């Protein structure tokens, strides 16, 4: 008895057609900004990982309870004569995140510190204005 193998003629034609070729010299996927947000009774503390980003390329915007952080990692074109790049996996480009916090942030008392690739934000909450009841004379 002979062994009969069932084959799809299109399988051989398309085998490997949808396989992604290896890219040499292309950029890796865009990283996500990893963020920790902690709340205290009177403030928020935010830690954002931004490795490889210069301090001058980080922007923080506060609008009421909304916090936006954006950063850009710039590519340095440093190549020596006779050198060619075979593969690069470091990402160059922009990344941003926005958060809606539970209470408005006091921009005037907020502070930011950038150490060893980690952005630390101290964001005091705005004191809520109590409604005032007027007495009628």
The arithmetic mean of pLDDT across residues 6-21, rounded, is: 54
Report the distance separating Cα 81 and Cα 54, nearest Å. 27
Q: Does domain 26-74+87-124 have CATH number 1.20.1290.10?
A: no
Ordered by start, the domain boundaries in the chain are: 26-74+87-124
More confident residue, 15 or 128: 128
CA triplet 105, 34, 120: central angle to 5 degrees? 45
pLDDT for 66 equals: 93
pLDDT above 70 covers what percent of the chain? 70
Closest to 118 in 3D by CA, of 65, 39, 52, 59 = 52
- End-to-end alpha-carbon separation of the chain, Å? 111
Q: What is the pTM of this model?
A: 0.65
Would the pLDDT of 105 be above 80? yes
The arithmetic mean of pLDDT across residues 46-74, rounded, is: 92
DSSP-derived letter for residue 89 is -
């Amino acid at each position: 008895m002979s062994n009969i193998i069932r084959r799809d003629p299109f399988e051989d034609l398309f085998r490997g057609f949808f396989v992604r070729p290896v890219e040499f010299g292309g950029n890796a996927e865009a990283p996500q900004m990893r963020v920790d947000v902690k709340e205290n009774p009177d403030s928020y503390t935010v830690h954002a990982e931004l490795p490889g980003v210069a301090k001058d390329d980080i922007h923080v915007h506060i609008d009421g309870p909304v916090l936006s952080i954006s950063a850009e990692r710039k590519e340095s074109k440093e190549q020596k004569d006779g050198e060619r790049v075979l593969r690069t996996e470091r990402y160059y480009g922009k990344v941003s995140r926005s958060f809606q916090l539970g209470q408005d942030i006091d921009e005037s008392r907020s502070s930011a510190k950038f150490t060893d690739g980690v952005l630390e934000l101290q964001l005091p909450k705005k004191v809520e204005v109590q409604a005032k009841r007027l007495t009628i004379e």
